[in-house]
Structure 1
Amino acid sequence: MAVPSGQAVTLQDVIWNARGPDGATMRFRFVAPGIAPAGGVDFETASADMQHLCDTYALPRLADQVPVPQQVIISLSDVPVPFGEAAPEATQFFESYRIEDGLCVWEMF
């Protein structure tokens, strides 16, 4: 998938059956090898990529969900990691967004 940093990003999976603190939540989990320690993509750069993924990938996929999620979590990992499992060797970044007026609005996670 194309992201502002130009790094390679692929969808790992989408989790929609685990409620978040604000109710219905969808988690979009991506593999992004560029965030590895030697990959050259820092957190600030990856944050812009995650905002882009929420705006252009996640948001269009919410309308068909019942109930419509009020929160989206975008995660990047340098290697695939099973959901809910600890992986101390993996580099992982997470951002949370509330959906407001059809937009992904960043929330402190």
Structure 2
Amino acid sequence: MKILAERIKKLRENKKISDKKFTQAYVAEAIGVARQTYTAYENGTKEPSLETVEKIADFFDVSTDYLFGRTDIMVSHRIFEERAKYDLHDLELTNWYYELAKKDKKTLTKLRKISKMIENEKD
């Protein structure tokens, strides 16, 4: 599956920008496969089992739906757990929360600054 290969490669390469340890060998070891096997996943010459896809999703903290190309939103199960923790039942707010994954870095940086300003406000 081409999209799976593209997405896991992009995820790893993006992580490697800020942390050089994110080599194919590092990811392979973390998910319990040989480096050559993981390389084949990234190249699209071999498809991982569903169990391995779940391990990859957990490792990169994304959903399996994202890896398979069913969505462009990188929402993991941990996000749903956070949502339940804060009881976000407001549909509009929840949708906005999930749409954040689609925002560019400049927009997210601005939103983070605004959030910090709000957190630092004195009541």
Would you tell me which structure has more helix in proportion to its own residues?
2
TM-score for both structures, normalised by structure 2:
0.21
Would you tell me which structure has more strand in proportion to its own residues?
1
**Greater relative contact order, per chain length (Cα 8 Å cut-off, separation 6+):** 1
TM-score for both structures, normalised by structure 1:
0.23
Rg (Cα) greater in structure: 2
